[in-house]
Amino acid sequence: AQKVTQAQTEISVVEKEDVTLDCVYETRDTTYYLFWYKQPPSGELVFLIRRNSFDEQNEISGRYSWNFQKSTSSFNFTITASQVVDSAVYFCALRTRREHSGGGADGLTFGKGTHLIIQP
C-alpha cells in the first residue's frame, strides 16, 4: 500500500522567514509521481509541481523550491521569504503505476496536509 506522511500539522512563521514543509512517502512501485497542491482559504486545490521518480533534480520556481531525495523517500517544499498570501494548507500527493496489480494507475494518495500560517 502507498502512503504519504506530512508530519507537520501546522506551521506558523513571520513574514519573510523561510519555511520548509516536509513530505515522506511510501510505495513498493519503482515508477511513481509526486505532487504538491495548495489549498488557500477559498477552498480550491491549486497544482504547484509534479516530479517523476526517475528525475531527482531539485526544482526552483521563484520563491518556491522542491528537494526530492529517493534515498530518504522525501519530497520537501521550501518557501523562501514567505508572504502572507502563502498562507494555505499544502498537500503532498503520490500516484503510482500499478506494477504489482495489472498496470494502469490509481488516483492520488494525499497526505493530511500542512496548514501554513504566515503572520504579518
Partner 1 sequence: DSGVTQTPKHLITATGQRVTLRCSPRSGDLSVYWYQQSLDQGLQFLIQYYNGEERAKGNILERFSAQQFPDLHSELNLSSLELGDSALYFCASSVGGASGGGQETQYFGPGTRLLVL
List contacts with partner 1 (CB under 8 A): 31-33, 35, 37, 43-47, 50, 52, 91, 93, 95-97, 103-113
Cβ 10 to partner 1 shortest distance, Å? 14
CA distance 95 to 60: 22
Nearer to partner 1, 13 or 45 (CB): 45
Nearer to partner 1, 25 or 91 (CB): 91
Cβ 104 to partner 1 shortest distance, Å? 4
CA distance 28 to 109: 14
Query: Is the four-CA dihedral 92, 97, 99, 102 of positive or negative sign?
Result: positive
Beta bridge partners of 67: 76
Cβ 26 to partner 1 shortest distance, Å? 16
Which class for 60: exposed (0-12), middle (13-18), buried (19 or more C-beta within 10 A)?
A: exposed
Nearer to partner 1, 43 or 62 (CB): 43
